[in-house]
Amino acid sequence: MQGADALWQAIPMKLKIATWNINSVRLRITSVARFLKENAPDILCLQETKCPQGQFPSAPLKELGYGHIAEFGQKGYHGVAIVSRLPFHRSHSKSFCGKGDCRHIAIEVDTPHPLQLHNFYVPAGGDEPDPEVNGKFAHKLQFLKEMQSWSKAEAKDKNVLKAVVGDLNIAPLEHDVWSHKELLKVVSHTPVETKGLNDIIAAGGWTDVMRKSVPEPEKLYTWWSYRAHDWRESNRGRRLDHIWANDGLAARFQRMSILKECRDWQQPSDHVPVLAEFTL
């Protein structure tokens, strides 16, 4: 038996992690199921589920083999969930800014190497990038500040593989938006937000694996506004969705893909899934 265990530890395991702001999981559960069928991630992290705790539509996903689900939801707003076909032995959520508004959930996955996965939904921040007049923007900046402290604490444990994924509602780099110049005063790309996100990355020693796969200056988007009559033709996108890895996991990163075709599905989310593959 010990020999079998040793052999299992020696066999490389492919791990596919996806993240997707679904913008109401109950409304788009058919799209979630289709994505799982067509792309077969091991784990899918969802944001903006807009689903009260205990009402997550799990049955169609369990039929597809995704029987392990962690959710943190509330009525009407926010909400995060993790859907997995791999067992996980612990899940927990952290409250930021004292609001308890369902913006973080984490699991520890039963893989050959210990793996922690954190799923975030950072506040959007409203329309006016001034914390003095816009409470939503002030909330976002406070969230980033607290997330930086969290990130610094997470960096202390280097013996565990760790990933951060989610809709972080910030496009931090010049080529993460369709026009750096025009969006410098638009919430999601203002200097105070991009600095805040980059400070979180630095505090935790995270690797932005999406940009490891597709370096600047290539444009990279995961979100296109509903307001565009033809989102593909206008292509005024932003990279609001992210996948980060600590050093141990980043060394095992293989590839990344952005599933733009999902934006053309019936009743689409304004975000598309991002899929990253690692070898454990």
The string of pLDDT tens digits covering residues 235-260 is 999 999 999 999 999 999 999 999 99
Residue 85 has pLDDT above 80, yes or no: yes
CATH number of the domain within which 30 lies = 3.60.10.10
Residue length of the chain: 280
Tally of domains within the chain: 1
Residue 176 lies in a domain: yes
Give SS3 for 19.
Answer: strand
Q: How far apart are CA 119 and CA 104, in angstroms?
A: 6
Q: What pLDDT is stored for residue 134 in this prediction?
A: 98
Residue 30 has pLDDT above 70, yes or no: yes
Residue 56 lies in a domain: yes
Give tens-digit pLDDT for 100-119.
Answer: 899 999 999 988 888 999 99
Residue 4 lies in a domain: no
Q: Which residue range(s) make up the domain with 68? A: 15-279
Residue 8 lies in a domain: no
When pLDDT is cut at 50, 70 and 90, the band that residue 11 belongs to is low
Give SS3 for 164.
Answer: strand
Q: Which helix (H) or strand (E) holds 88?
A: strand 88-92
Give tens-digit pLDDT for 157-212.
Answer: 888 999 999 999 999 999 999 999 999 999 999 999 999 999 999 999 999 999 99
Residue 96 has pLDDT above 50, yes or no: yes
Going 53 to 20 to 233 to 126, the CA torsion angle's sign is: positive
Q: What pLDDT is stored for residue 6 in this prediction?
A: 44
Beta-sheet strands, E only, within 158-269? 161-167, 207-208, 223-224, 237-238, 241-245, 253-258
Q: How far apart are CA 51 and CA 28, in angstroms?
A: 12
Residue 66 lies in a domain: yes
Residue 8 has pLDDT above 60, yes or no: no
Q: Which of 16, 152, 23 lies closest to 84 in space, CA to CA?
A: 16
Residue 5 has pLDDT above 80, yes or no: no
